[in-house]
Structure 1
Amino acid sequence: MNNKRATKRALLTSVMALVMCVVMLVGTTFAWFTDTASTGVNKIQAGNLDIELEMKNASGGWDKAEGKTLQFKKAAGHEGEEVLWEPGCRYELPELRIVNKGNLALKYKITVNGVTGDAKLLKAIDFTAKMGGTEIALDSLNDAILPSGAAPTLAGEAVGETAPITIKGVMKTTAGNEYQGLSIDGIGITVVATQYTYEKDSIDDQYDANANATIQVNKDNIQDYLDGKYGSIDGMTLVLAEGNYGRIEFGRATAYAGSNTKYYCGGNESNPAAIKKDIADHPNGGAGKREYVRSMSNVTLKAADGAAVTINGLVAFGGQVNSTKWYSRDFVADRDMSATENNNICYWIGQRWSNITFEGLTFTGGVNIEAYGNKDTLIDNVKFDNCKFNVDDTNANAYCIRLTVDGNTARANNLVVTNCEFTDGTTAVLTDGMPNVTVTDSTFSGLVRHAINPMMNELPNAPGYGKITVTGNTFKNMSTKADKGTILRMGEVGAGAVFTIKNNTATEGITLANSIKVNSLADGITYDISGNNWGGLTASHTRLDG
């Protein structure tokens, strides 16, 4: 009997050991990402993307430049003298190079984004660059570096390291007395790198074609980056350092090549120099109509991890600019918009955006984006994620997010608001001419009019409503205009609209006119409305209850 029990016990132990081996094998096989994992003779090796910025030392060798402030060089024999900036002077930084220390191909971008001294003086200095023996625009300091030993397939691909790079600053001869007494002792250089389409997977080399790069910005240089001073921001994530930021002028046209702006004068394609000359040739007015089209795609503005970033409003505009309400000056023609300029003041601007994201930011002034009457404007897919809005509602037009277009000439497509917090303000989310609006998992309180207000005021030329999605939101303390305010307010809703309104909750302090209110509902609308607790509020039409 004892031998039989021992045999059973041994057999059971063997079976359990076998099961554990199988479990361990399965667990290893399905690891998501690791440096090295092997089963049998198969091996999975993670690639390594690593760059190093180096500077040439006095002996002709190369030292690590990371974390160092680069000092401007004086002419030979005058190394110990002070660096003094005056109109027309030229100072160079030490030679730099970028080294690919990893085993993956990468694409890089170089920017001047730090300063020791007076940042204001940067506005009076033009930076140029030279790579090897070739002059190159500062905003063109971007290309690819293959790992050592790789074979280039395209022009411009370096192997292992770049040619030496020299960055030179020239003080503008037009710099005025306001720059006297200011100083810049050193400059900070940032290199950002991300994956480059070189290595092939089982299909091709395009799996990382849309890899984004990140760059650190602060309240002193963010506008320069947005303007394209340091190159295109397409495909970039701008990480905002902690601080209180002033009003951001988003999407303004500039003369920088990195702004991706197209220029037109009198209906013909032009350039900033020709536009300036045209204005100078018409001192009493009559210069050609100026139109600029600014393009941006796949751009993200986000707060640095754990950083408190507050922004006192953001504006963007498409249409005729004839005052400083939107943009503070004409940055292409380099002209003020003030009363001192009596002629040739106004210009037109179009906005071509796709996939613009704001993440983790706190707005103390509203986001105001407007475009009317400009055929070149298309604002496609704007997203606010995990943002906070605390906008003073003493102004009757204090909207937290306002994105309005005529929907016919100037067009927009999609707005997404997720996991945001709205405190005070007139209306939290106001759109016009925007067919698709999604608001999810957000909280609203203290508003004096509507929480969410997608309108179509330019019908019949506007596109009409598309998909309106409002799910998982919480509303409270909205009662100031009980005769007019609503949680969701829309206009004339035509056939083809799709409503998804689910699992929203209205809690304390809600004494509004309606939960949902529309001007009219056509036949042919798709409704998915359920699971909402409106706190006793009813909709303006029974088809909207639920």
Structure 2
Amino acid sequence: MTNSKSTKRALLTSALALLMCVTMLVGATFAWFTDTASTGVNKIQAGNLNIELQMKDNNGNWVNAEGKTLPFLVNGKIPAEGTQILWEPGCTYYVPEVRVVNKGNLAVKFEYVNELLGVTGKLAEVLEPVFKTPVDTNGEDINIEPEVLKPGEASPAWSFGYHMLETAGNEYQNATATGMCLTVVATQVPYEKDSISDQYDKDATYPVVKAADLAEKLNELADGSVITVEGTVNTALTISKPVTINNLTATAPVTIASNGVTLNAANIEYKAPKTPALVVNSDVTDVTITNSAITAATGRTGSHTAVSLPVSGKVVFTGNTVTNDYNGIEFGLNVPTGDGTLIANNNFTNIGNNAISIYQVEDGATVTVKNNTFTGKVGSFIPVRLSNSNNMSGKFVFANNTVDTDNSWENCFVMLEDYSREGAEIQDFTKYTLVFKDNKVGANCTYTVVFDDQDGIITTNQPIVQK
């Protein structure tokens, strides 16, 4: 009994000692039998995929051609800006040589989107594309789309153009063709190796989106993405991401609802009364529309412009064809057009009222209108209509345009119209400077006409005009 008690006492004492040790251990710093070893990890740097489309200038230098209008060569040279090339049966014109340069640090593969070499307009019926592609010393064709374009490398140079068929008859006189555009798509290619192989990017695809999936895919795209559309969009489309979209073909209205959108080589045709084919929302501050064909049939009531551009900021509108039975492109009635706005190399056809309407500008803005062609309904159309509803100073440069003023309203090039009603503040056109340079106009061109809603054409409130 005594031994049993002693044993229990010893066990109890041991248990208490153990508990004290555990308690002490819990409160300790765990400095016993530990070790730590660490090292830094090398910085992770994503590769840069970046290609540049270039053309050769008259000095034999390669220059960036992205977003530019490729000129047709005359006697093998790029002609002076504003030179008018008149096509006739049997003639052939080429653009300068072009190539692709890999400006990034990843190997790429690329494709020229040949569909964009197509043209629209009546003259397109008698034009056929022609090509100049390189050959090696054996006379064999060189692939202008190499399987791998390494960083710093340039692809083989080539050129394309158009031949006007000898069978073209008189019905093609004064006809036009537009929509010529060259687009390149690129993606990464198996070349760089990771720790396993160089095949991790073998399934990379070109940034091409099918038209039926475009509305859904737009929501998934990262800002700044560049895509090419395949097929035709048949339902109303809203673009609410800052992306570049090539080759958008649509038979329904298109709305741009984001800053930083570029539409290139679009073909938008929507002929419904009171409905523009293309609208840019009024909270957008910049937009670029290039090399596109936009066709509407709005009539003169309601929203009566093919392209609605109420942009409070800079607009770049170049290389497009706009067709409508009333207005062509119309800027914001209540927002100022921004400094640096450029309207160039466009063709305005079948215009029933104003080809370009600008209602107000930000103070001190310069707007350039150059290398455009204007035609429309006899006695009804006006190439450019300006207002100054916010009474700011502005400068407009009109250079190298071709204007059918003999058939325009009052032989007029630019009409400055006070569209306000009785009792409203008179717009001050003396704050505007209009510069006319090297335009091709009718024999009896009236460069400017100031029109007052109550008094008709007036000789007061005139802008500063420089010719």
- What TM-score comes out, normalization by structure 2 length? 0.43
Larger radius of gyration: 2
Higher strand share: 1
